Structure 1
Amino acid sequence: MLLALSGICFGVLTSWVNVRTDWVVLSKLIGVGWPWAAVGVAAAAMVSRARAVGALLALGGAVLGYYASDLALGVYTFIDFSDPRANSDPMSARTSVAWSDAIRDAARWLFVAVVVSVPLGQVAGALNRTDGWGLLARLFLPIGAAMESFGIRLPSELAVQPSPVSVATHTIIGIAGVVATAVLMTRHLAASTTWAGRHTRPPRARRKRTICSDVQVSCEGANGGGERSGD
């Protein structure tokens, strides 16, 4: 329940920020894909079992909170042009809510939440591992942020009339993702080198083998025969 409530709060906040025009930086920061993935990973990491369910609860709550907030803020409210006042006085004209559009959009992203909850749960489960899988899990979010910023957001922003604030925000996020990736890889390589140095064993000395001259007589027999001959 706490995970779902946290997701709802995140979705409402994201919707509210996206509607406001004076919160561009925060909108570009949490209104894109990688922060939603971070919410799923964080929720999955908070549970010890059924991590995919934890991710789904948080992401599903975020989707429902987002579109409920959009409905409350009037994102899906339009002027009813069947009203005669729509052309002469639009402010006093009757409005209608596009419920079908809101339900369709929410259902689509709920389906996406169901699909991605399993891999996000696996990422959360591998965060504490010290091998290569653990490194990949820790690199998931910074690489995702860098790829989304440099590969999707910046090109689409520069294709039209670019906003300096949006361009700067996506650039900073992308650079931060690259730097975080480099730091995590360096720390992992340093830790692996240290671990290998501590657990490297010196080569064992080869045991000397006793070779008997007579292959048909054992070493013990050869020694015994020598004692009898001395008698």
Structure 2
Amino acid sequence: MKIMVGGLAAGMGFGAATALVNNLSSPYAELGMPLKGTVWAGAAKVLSLLMGAGWSWAALAVAMGWLARTRVRGALVGVLALAAATAAYYVTDALVSSAGTDMVAWMLAGLPFGVVLGAVGAAIRRPGPIGLLAALTVPVGVAVQMIVMPPRPHLTLTPAIVLAEVIVWTAAVCGAGWAVHRFWAERRAERSRRSHTVRAWT
């Protein structure tokens, strides 16, 4: 029960924060106008590029699934987190900018993704190749999105876009490196246990 409440809270916080950051990063939005030309506008833009990306929403569901520990609970909390994030995003966006909403459509689209990604997050805890593949899901997804659809809302590169891309690629490489390191560490530990067992029986 606690993890379900946590998933709802995390989703609501993430969705509301994303909507606020998006509005703060836009010089045409009411919240963003006072920040135009300041360092805060640049920081908001970087956060907007990071939080508004599809991979970050996927990472939310995966992280909540990892916290849930089991596949069933992971799938449930993944759906709850994405649904809460979607609702909070559009409600906050409507409040701060009077924007229209296609919340229902995005919620329906997020249902299967929440189930799968939440279950994947729970599978990260499993040893062996399954755990490795699950742990690589977000880093590989990040890399694919960065290649196919990088966070470049403008034709020209801006410092905010460059910084966001550096952060994303660094996080993807570190995440993949951690997953591979953990896999091989588990393999070495397993070989060591088998070796000790064989010596104990001889």
What range is the shorter-chain TM-score in? 0.7 to 0.9
- Where 2:149 maps in the other structure, the secondary structure is helix
Displaced runs of 4+ in structure 1, greater than 6 A? none
- For 1:64, the aligned partner's letter is A
Compared CA separation, residues 46 and 175, structure 1 to 2 (3 A): closer
Q: Which has the higher contact order (CA 8 A, sep 6+)?
A: 2
Deviation at 1:69, TM superposition (A): 0.8
Point out the more displaced range, 130-139 or 164-173.
164-173
What TM-score, normalized by structure 2, do the two folds share? 0.76
* Residue equivalent to 1:216: none
**Deviation sequence 1:80-131 (CA, Å, 0-9, x none):** xxxxxxxxxxxxxxxxxx4xxx1xx212210121111221122122111111
Residue 38 of structure 1, aligned match among 59, 72, 89: 59
Compared CA separation, residues 14 and 138, structure 1 to 2 (3 A): same
RMSD: 2.4
* Residue equivalent to 1:209: none
* Residue equivalent to 2:184: 189
Residue 9 of structure 1, aligned match among 9, 13, 16: 13
Asked if structure 2 preserves the Cα contact closer than 8 Å seen for 1:9 and 1:65, the reply is yes
Asked if structure 1 preserves the Cα contact closer than 8 Å seen for 2:66 and 2:123, the reply is no
**Structure showing the higher helix proportion among its residues:** 2
What TM-score, normalized by structure 1, do the two folds share? 0.67
Residue 78 of structure 2, aligned match among 45, 49, 55: 55
Q: Which runs of 5+ in 2 are unaligned?
A: 26-40
Larger radius of gyration: 1
Alignment of 1:160-175 (within 5 A): 160-175=155-170
Asked if structure 2 preserves the Cα contact closer than 8 Å seen for 1:25 and 1:166, the reply is yes
Between the aligned partners of 1:190 and 1:5, the Cα distance in structure 2 is: 34
- For 2:90, the aligned partner's letter is Y
Alignment of 1:9-158 (within 5 A): 9-21=13-25, 22=41, 23-47=44-68, 48=70, 49-76=72-99, 98=100, 102=101, 105-153=102-150, 156-157=152-153
Between the aligned partners of 2:67 and 2:189, the Cα distance in structure 1 is: 30
Between the aligned partners of 2:131 and 2:186, the Cα distance in structure 1 is: 13
**Deviation sequence 1:49-91 (CA, Å, 0-9, x none):** 4322211111101100000011111252xxxxxxxxxxxxxxx
Between the aligned partners of 2:143 and 2:170, the Cα distance in structure 1 is: 7
- For 1:8, the aligned partner's letter is M
Asked if structure 1 preserves the Cα contact closer than 8 Å seen for 2:86 and 2:106, the reply is yes
| Percent pairwise identity | 28
